[in-house]
């Protein structure tokens, strides 16, 4: 049970903290505007520079989905866009993170690295980021097909995570 003085301390702390949060322009990640006043963008197919076939589709689709979920009105056709978001999947790595014996892996981690840029219709770079990475662990089994499915699922999970990271960075007003 809170005493009268505890309630007063709590109220003073709360009243003192609110102006600080407002003064710092605190807001949720991804709620800012796009760079350079861009209001309409087109997301082009992300280039795959790795040996892992088909992952460019996941990244591209997840970027589009992230924009639809958070700012549907920003997406447009390429010819109507003020900015074009493009990029590449530069790396994919698989590392063993758990063993059942010295030569048998039980869990691996897949790491994806991407580079993205937002350019205007004239090709001028408005925003760019290199080396956004995400990783996800997956289980290794004796069944190679199941292990490959686990790896594919891990890639799909981290693709969504990368899309969220990109959207948040793109809409940060710092």
Distance of CA 174 to the CA centre of its chain: 17
Model confidence at 36, pLDDT cuts 50, 70, 90, reads confident
Per-residue confidence (pLDDT) for residue 26, from 0 to 100: 45
Per-residue confidence (pLDDT) for residue 37, from 0 to 100: 87
Model confidence at 119, pLDDT cuts 50, 70, 90, reads very high
The domains located in the chain, with CATH, are 39-170 (3.30.160.150)
Measured distance CA(38)–CA(85) in Å, rounded: 11
Buried b vs exposed e over 147-161: b needs ≥16 C-beta within 10 Å? Answer: beebbbebbebbbbb
């Amino acid at each position: 049970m809170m005493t009268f003085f505890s309630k007063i301390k709590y109220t003073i702390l709360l009243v003192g903290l609110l102006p600080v949060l407002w003064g710092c322009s605190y807001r949720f990640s991804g709620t800012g505007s796009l760079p350079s006043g861009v209001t309409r963008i087109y997301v082009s197919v992300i280039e795959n520079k790795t040996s892992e076939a088909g992952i460019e589709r996941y990244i591209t689709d997840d970027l589009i989905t992230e924009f639809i979920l958070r700012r549907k009105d920003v997406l447009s056709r390429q010819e109507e866009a003020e900015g074009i978001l493009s990029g590449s999947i530069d790396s994919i790595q698989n590392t063993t993170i758990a063993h059942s014996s010295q030569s048998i892996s039980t869990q691996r981690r897949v790491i994806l690295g991407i580079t993205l840029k937002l350019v205007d219709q004239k090709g001028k770079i408005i925003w760019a980021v290199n080396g956004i990475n995400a990783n996800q662990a997956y289980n290794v089994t004796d069944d190679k097909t199941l292990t490959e499915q686990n790896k594919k699922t891990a890639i799909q999970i981290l693709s969504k995570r990368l899309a969220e990271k990109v959207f948040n960075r793109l809409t940060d007003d710092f």
